[in-house]
């Protein structure tokens, strides 16, 4: 039996559930978080290749580092979240953006899935050899801050990000792979 909550690499087997995840965001006019959720869906095999290429550092836009996208899957069939793990930090990501971005399907929020997707993505970060990761969120994003704190995040600093016109909190999660 499939475990209730798994983190998987994007797969054609979950195409329609992933499409409905994105459709919920579009319906609600929400931003695409993490950024690969905004990738063109028309040609699904091409999307899967683009995501796989991104993980291998192939065809990335200028200034991007290799990054791996994961889907959070409930009961083996329902995509309920997406995360993106940056393999390294650039000066820009060090300031805001961090190693990991994540989002939960709107209709599935408030069930601790946000906490779960970050927990599972931290395991992938540890498997990649990272010992500590930076996770950032808008200061006004209380739910995301609680997700980070719930995963052992320690607030390092708050910076004002001109382009966003907002304060961003920077948290470090240390000691990966030690539990």
Q: Which residues bind ligand COA (CB under 6 A)?
A: 33, 101-104, 109-115, 137, 141-144, 146-147, 150
Partners of residue 86 on adjacent β-strands: 67
Indicate the residue among 53 and 132 with the shorter CB distance to ligand COA: 132
Indicate the residue among 147 and 176 with the shorter CB distance to ligand COA: 147
Indicate the residue among 87 and 112 with the shorter CB distance to ligand COA: 112
Smallest separation (angstroms) from ligand COA to the CB of 156: 15
Residue nearest to ligand COA (CB): 114
Instruction: Could you list the beta-strand ranges (E) of the chain.
Output: 5-8, 67-74, 78-86, 100-104, 132-138, 154-161, 166-174
Smallest separation (angstroms) from ligand COA to the CB of 150: 4
DSSP labels, 102-147: EEE-GGGTTSSHHHHHHHHHHHHHHHTT-SEEEEEEETT-HHHHHH
Smallest separation (angstroms) from ligand COA to the CB of 100: 9
Indicate the residue among 54 and 105 with the shorter CB distance to ligand COA: 105
Token readout for 162 is 């001109």
- Residue 62 backbone dihedrals phi, psi, to 5 degrees: -50, 130
Contact 93, 102 (CB under 8 A): no
Smallest separation (angstroms) from ligand COA to the CB of 121: 11
Smallest separation (angstroms) from ligand COA to the CB of 43: 26
Indicate the residue among 130 and 137 with the shorter CB distance to ligand COA: 137
Q: Is the backbone peptide bond immediately before 4 cis, with ω within 30 degrees of 0?
A: no
Contact 70, 125 (CB under 8 A): no
């Amino acid at each position: 039996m499939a475990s209730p909550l798994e983190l998987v690499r994007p797969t054609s087997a979950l195409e329609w559930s992933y499409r409905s995840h994105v459709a919920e965001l579009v319906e609600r006019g929400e931003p695409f978080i993490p950024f690969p959720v905004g990738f063109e869906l028309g040609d699904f095999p091409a999307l899967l290749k683009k995501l796989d290429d991104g993980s291998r550092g192939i065809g990335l836009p200028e200034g991007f580092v290799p990054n791996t996208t994961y889907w959070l899957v409930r009961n083996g069939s329902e995509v309920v979240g997406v995360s993106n793990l940056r393999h390294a930090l650039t000066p820009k990501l060090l300031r805001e953006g961090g190693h990991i971005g994540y989002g939960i399907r709107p209709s599935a929020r408030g069930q601790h899935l946000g906490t779960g997707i970050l927990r599972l993505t931290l395991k992938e970060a540890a498997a990649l050899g990272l010992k500590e990761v930076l996770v950032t969120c808008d200061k006004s994003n209380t739910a995301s801050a609680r997700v980070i704190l719930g995963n052992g995040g320690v607030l390092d600093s708050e910076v004002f990000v001109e382009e966003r016109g907002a304060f961003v909190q920077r948290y470090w999660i240390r000691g990966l792979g030690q539990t």
